[in-house]
Structures are given as C-alpha cells and as structure tokens.
Amino acid sequence: MIALDTNILVHAHRKDASLHDEAQACVRELAEAAAPWFICYHSLIEFYGIATHAKIWECPSTPPQAAQQIAAWRESPSLRVLTESPEHIEEVMAVAESSKVIGPMIHDARIAACCLTHGVRELWTIDRDFSRFPQIQTRNPLI
C-alpha cells in the first residue's frame, strides 16, 4: 500500500517545480492503475497551502487552480483519501515521542501516523526527514 507525501503532489502540480515531469508521471501511473493508492487528508490541505503560497512561488497557483488539482486527483477511482479519527492524536503523539519530534516536524509525524493507522507501510516522498520514522518505509520514486 503506497501513500504520497505532499512534496510529490506539489512537484506533480507545479510545472516550474524541479521534478515536475517525474512527479507528474508517477502520480499519473498510480491514478490510472487499478491498485489502491493513498493520500492523507492533511497532505491535501498542505498541498493547497504550498501551491498557493506567494513566498514560495514567483507566480503561485490560484486557489481555484489548487482546488481543481485536488478534485482531479480525487477523481481517480483507485485513490483513497485517509482521514483522522478523534483517537488519531494518540498515534501522532506515540510516533512523535518515539522519533523525538519537536517543532514543525510534528506535521511529518502526523502524516506518518495517519499512514500507519490505515495500514499504509510505504510513503513516497522526496523529504529525507521521514527517515526519522522507522515504522514506515519511505521511497523516493523520482530518482
């Protein structure tokens, strides 16, 4: 079971991202396959925030463009968006404690915990920070 991290989504969406072509092909392959693939709800929200952020991009995506991209991914019949339950905070805290997470790294712990809660064991990401969570295997499919 494979989940995609926010950074793969951003690169797939942003034509000016350094790994756009590779990320777009990766997402397309998953979206067109019959096997289920996963995105954490939090990653979709984070994608929107990054894609529309004027301090990150010279010409950021507009809110409608980011929303349309999320809608397009959600049209894939094999995509499953992973959500969090009220008890999810316990898993996040357990992952954070075991990985000695502090500060903004809690957002990565949240994604890792969401994947683990739903039985996802492989997260595709270009962020090496996820190596601090040995409970979930990470892979960079863009290299």
Residue 24's pLDDT is what?
A: 97
In which domain, by residue range, is 88 found? 2-139
Mean pLDDT taken over the chain: 94
Instruction: Report the number of distinct structural domains present in the chain.
Output: 1
**Tell me, what's the pLDDT at 16?**
94
- Note the pLDDT of residue 121: 85
Q: In this structure, what token pair is assigned to residue 67?
A: 């929303």
Q: Kindly tell me if the per-residue pLDDT of 129 is higher than 90.
A: no
pLDDT band at 143 (very low <50, low <70, confident <90, very high): confident
pLDDT in tens, 73-82: 999 999 999 9
State the angle between helix axes of 6-13 and 41-51 in degrees (0 to 180), rounded to the nearest 10: 40
pTM: 0.92
Please tell me the predicted confidence (pLDDT) of residue 27: 97
pLDDT in tens, 84-108: 888 889 999 999 999 999 998 999 9
CATH code (residue 56): 3.40.50.1010
Q: Is 53 helix (H, G, I), strand (E, B) or coil?
A: coil
- What is the residue type of 101? V
C-alpha separations of 97 from 3, 100, 113, 118 in Å = 23, 5, 12, 20
Amino acid at 5: D
